[in-house]
Homo-oligomer: A and B are copies of this chain.
């Protein structure tokens, strides 16, 4: 299991709102960015996955906001495979301020694997290479590798 460089993001101006903080919807987008960044670094990018005929559909998403991120903040988003059985997937996230390590938010997304027509697929049997990536990283804290 290889070390994965953590996903970093600098807050864009257009991600702020008139409260002067990052609009809460963007964290859901950062989760996705961190998720696919992990996949790419683990050796099977999401783009390649779709080209292989597999999509990872979002069934649910949630975020708890602790401390607002602000313009130009560097944030680190750390995904963790919390559940995976080849068909369904849960990922939890921590969003940290890179400068001081403050926990800004936590979250979770749940997914199923489908073909390009949104029919569920079992990765263990049909896409073992994809299965392996998620299986290998179950419960792994990427920041502790």
**Residues of A with Cβ closer than 8 Å to B?**
12-14, 16-21, 23-26, 28-29, 32-33, 36, 40, 45-47, 55, 57-65, 68, 71-72, 118
Contacts and interface: CB of A to CB of B under 8 A. Distances in A.
B40 A14 contact: no
Contact of A59 (B14, B23, B26, B65): B65
A18 B72 CA distance: 12
A2 to B, nearest CB: 20
A54 B15 CA distance: 20
B20 A14 contact: no
Contact of A28 (B24, B40, B59): B24
A54 to B, nearest CB: 12
B59 A71 contact: no
B28 A46 contact: no
A13 B60 contact: no
A13 B20 contact: no
11 contacts: A13-B18, A13-B32, A13-B33, A13-B36, A14-B23, A25-B28, A40-B72, A47-B72, A57-B65, A60-B62, A62-B63
